[in-house]
Amino acid sequence: MGRIHTHTHGKSHSVRPIDLTPPSWIKLSPTEIEGLIVKYAKDDMSPSQIGTLLRDKHAIPLVKPILKKSITEVLESAGVKSDMPEDLNNIVNKSVGLQKHLKDHPADNRNVRSLELIEAKVHRLSTYYKKIGRLPKTWKYKAVVAQLE
């Protein structure tokens, strides 16, 4: 969804492990991994940051084959889950930064268009999350409210 308004193909990235069996080199037990996830979440890390840290620092390539649930599911069961999904929160923060920029530079027409595209992404993604029940049906994106958060 990130490149819907452009003609580029995106960046290359690392490839996820093909085999979904837990690796043999992992020394941590599933309860210790869940403890690490909750600890990092309490340190205000997002689920993607937690996954990157587990991969780089603790040599855990994927959490799901080991725990049989994702990082966000672990956070939900521990009660540390955030109100807004991470990807929607990132897009809202991007729009807030662009609104601040446009307040200082109102003649920047290129970024006026970028803000319109970003807000369209926010509305599409929020519709999806309302449909699956991740956001309340009454949630609404308002640019002025987003700046205050």
pLDDT (tens digit per residue) in 65-86: 999 999 999 999 998 888 889 9
Extract the tokens encoding 63. 């959490």
pLDDT digits (tens, 9 = 90+) for 27-72: 899 999 999 999 999 998 999 999 999 999 999 989 999 999 999 9
- pLDDT, the chain, mean: 87
Whole-number Å distance between alpha carbons of 107 and 121: 23
Whole-number Å distance between alpha carbons of 117 and 3: 11
Whole-number Å distance between alpha carbons of 123 and 133: 15
Evaluate whether 116 touches 99 at the Cβ level (below 8 Å): no
Whole-number Å distance between alpha carbons of 40 and 28: 16
Model confidence at 1, pLDDT cuts 50, 70, 90, reads very low
The conformation of residue 119, written as its DSSP 8-state character, comes to H
Q: Mean pLDDT check: name the lowest of 10-19, 21-30, 76-85.
A: 10-19
The share of the chain scoring above pLDDT 90, in percent, equals 64
Segments in the chain forming alpha helices (H): 30-42, 47-58, 64-67, 71-78, 86-104, 109-132, 143-148
Question: Is the model's pLDDT at 2 over the cut of 60?
Answer: no
Evaluate whether 49 touches 36 at the Cβ level (below 8 Å): no
Model confidence at 146, pLDDT cuts 50, 70, 90, reads low
Extract the tokens encoding 20. 């979904």
Residue 53, phi then psi, degrees to nearest 5: -65, -40
Which DSSP helix (H) or strand (E) runs through 51?
helix 47-58
Give the Cβ contact number of residue 147 at 10 Å: 14
The whole-number pLDDT of residue 144 equals 60
The whole-number pLDDT of residue 147 equals 57
